[in-house]
Every structure is written in structure tokens, then in C-alpha cells.
Amino acid sequence: MKQIQIVEVGLRDGLQNEKSMIGVPERVQSVLELLAAGLTRIELGAYVHPKRVPQMAGTLEVVNEVLAKTQHRKGFSVLIPNDRGYDDFLRAPVPEIAIFASATEKFSQKNINCSIEESFERFQVVVRRAKKDKIKVRGYLSMCFGCPYEGEVDPKKVVGLVQRLLRLGCYEVSIGDTIGVASPDGVIRLIRLLKKAKIPMNRIAGHFHDTRGTALANIYAAYREGIHIFDTSLGGLGGCPYAPGASGNVSTEDVVYMFQRSGLMKKIDLQKLIDLNKKMSVWLGKELPSKVGKAGTWPSHQHLDPSSSA
């Protein structure tokens, strides 16, 4: 049975919508504790203008300090919006960058101040440079199920944009339910269209927000359709400052608990994630929405054989 992969996005997508800001030392400590818990794919931040997303100020310092404190490298990534961001990235390179596209025109304009077509023109420059430097490129595609400005999104349009990101050079594309409006049936319908288009499931990840409490159901539906990579955020932190209603990512702890209880995830210490959740709550001055973060682990060991359950 294929094991689930977690991509921890709390330090970028999680923090970018928070009113409170946490400093570089706390962000570095978070990375080290995430690694100690067994997470290996971690987004460290974003090279965006601090006037646009002030919570990402200090990303270069975070990356430099993390690289100085650990030998781990393989799973680190940063978000790069444009050619200027790539210049910043080269000051402290990690093995992977991410680019961020939208499935709707209005959100593309709100989020990155350009059309979908213009965004791909920007990406071409970034991807060309990354290929030359042997840097992997991951693609995010937002608003795949619904948009606060345009409403329902045609899944065929999503499929076309996923194909375009893959042709551009992305090794993996994360399909995003940015405002948390997807249902399991809608998730299944989109994934089956991706399969019909001959897109390999090992090149697709799921990025589900828990705005309406459906993220875990959507993730499990995606898993049953063949997706094994999911973006999550410690404590359920997150949202998008340019997407009204995007209240938060699915909690890393909740996803880990669900898959560990199903026998599909090992080598992640759930208690260490809960402990970090408590520290993050103090740093941000509020309780985080993660259900497992509040309830704790049960039973005391982290994995039950599903066949032993009544």
C-alpha cells in the first residue's frame, strides 16, 4: 500500500494570512521541529515583496539559518513569483522552487496582478533559469473548484492548466481548493478528468482548505482516486489574503492522524507536531483550529492495525 506524502506549507501559506507576525528565530525553530517530527518536504517561505505579504519578510534569513543548522536539503522549497524572486532565491538556493498560477482570471489579477496568460510568460523565465541551475519546479494551481470572484470553475479548464504547467516543466502540480468549497464528488470528478487526460497521478498533489469542514473528506476521496501527496499546514494555519473566505489550510496533525489510523502513514511523530502547535499558538497569540491539536493523540501509540478495529 503506497504511503502518503505530506508537504508542509504552514510557514508560507499558513503564515501569509495571519495578522500577527512571528520572527525569524521562531520560524527556524519550527522547521527544525518539523524535521524532528519526521516531515521531509517543507516550504520555507516566499520571495515576495514585503508590502504585498509582510509575513514573508525575512525568508532569506530563515533559509540561511535553516541551512546552517541542518544537513537536510532534499525536501526544502520556496515560492518564487517572478524573475526578481529568483534572484533572491539564488542568494540561498534550496533544491526546489514553487510557482503559483490561478484557474480564474479575476483571482490571478487580484493575487499576482496579471492575467493567466501573463503569469505563464513570467513562469517561462523562472522555469528556464531553474532548469539551467538544476532546480526542481513545483506548480500550484489555485481556485480549482471555486472562486470568490467568478464562482464555479469548469474542471476542464483546470485540466488544461495542469497540462500546461506540466509542459512548462513542473515535475508536480498541486491542485488547490483555495476557498474550501469542494465536495468529495467534485474532487473525484476532477481527478477522473485528469486521468482521462493521461496525467499520471504521481505528478498531482492535493491542496485543500478546511473553510467549510470538508477538507479531510476531500483528501480521502482524492486518496481513493490515486493521489498520495497532500499539502497541509501545522495547526490549520492559513488562507489567502487575496481570496475572501479562504480561512485556513487543512491541519497537518488532522491529516496525519487520519492516515496513521488507516495504516497509511508511518515515520511521523504526531505528538511532536502537537507540541509545536502549542508553541505556535503562543507565538501567534491564539489557539489554532486543528482538532487533533486540541484533542491530542489517541491511543497513546501512533498506529493501530485497521484489521484490529471493531
Beta-carbon count within 10 A of 150 CB? 14
Per-residue pLDDT at 1 = 62
Any idea which residue has 517561505 for its cell?
Answer: 45
Cβ-contact 63, 92 below 8 angstroms: yes
The set of residues, in sequence order, having a beta carbon less than 8 Å from that of 206 and lying 6+ positions away, is 174, 175, 187, 218, 219, 222, 227, 229, 230, 231
CB count, 10 Å around CB of 68? 9
Using DSSP's 3-state secondary structure scheme, residue 59 falls into: helix
Distance of CA 245 to the CA centre of its chain: 17
**Rounded-to-integer distance, Cα 168 and Cα 294, Å:** 42
H helices within the chain, ranges in order?
Answer: 24-37, 59-69, 83-89, 105-112, 116-132, 155-168, 184-196, 215-224, 252-261, 270-284, 291-295
Q: Which parts of the chain register pLDDT below 70? A: 1, 239-247, 299-310
Sign (positive/negative) of CA torsion 268, 274, 279, 280?
positive
CB 221 within 8 A of CB 183: no
Q: Give the separation between CA 139 and CA 70, rounded to whole angstroms.
A: 26
Q: Would residue 147 show up in a list of annotated catalytic residues for this protein? A: no
Q: 138 is written with which cell numbers? A: 513545483
User: 230 near 8, Cβ under 8 Å?
Assistant: no
* Residue 96: its H or E element: strand 96-102
Measured distance CA(211)–CA(127) in Å, rounded: 32
pLDDT computed for residue 246 by the predictor: 52
**What is the rounded distance in angstroms from the CA atom of residue 37 to the CA atom of residue 302?**
12
- Return the domain boundaries, the chain: 5-308
The pLDDT score that the predictor gives to residue 92 is 97
> Which cell numbers in the block locate residue 14?
499558513
The dotted CATH code for 5-308 is 3.20.20.70
**What's the confidence (pLDDT) of residue 244?**
57
How distant, in Å, are the alpha carbons of 260, 266, 301 from that of 1?
A: 13, 12, 21
Gap between the Cα atoms of 253 and 257, Å rounded: 6
Report the residue count for the chain: 310
Identify the bridge partners of residue 207 per DSSP, sorted by sequence position.
176, 231
pLDDT of residue 243: 56
pLDDT at 18: 86
Is the separation of the CB atoms in 87 and 125 below 8 Å?
Answer: no
φ/ψ of residue 151, rounded to 5 = 80, -145
User: 205: which strand partners?
Assistant: 174
| Catalytic-role residue among 144, 147, 170, 240 | 240
Structure confidence at residue 304 (pLDDT): 46
> Is-cis flag, bond preceding 299, omega within 30?
yes
Separation between Cα atoms, residue 236 and residue 254, nearest integer Å: 9
Q: What is the pLDDT of residue 302?
A: 46
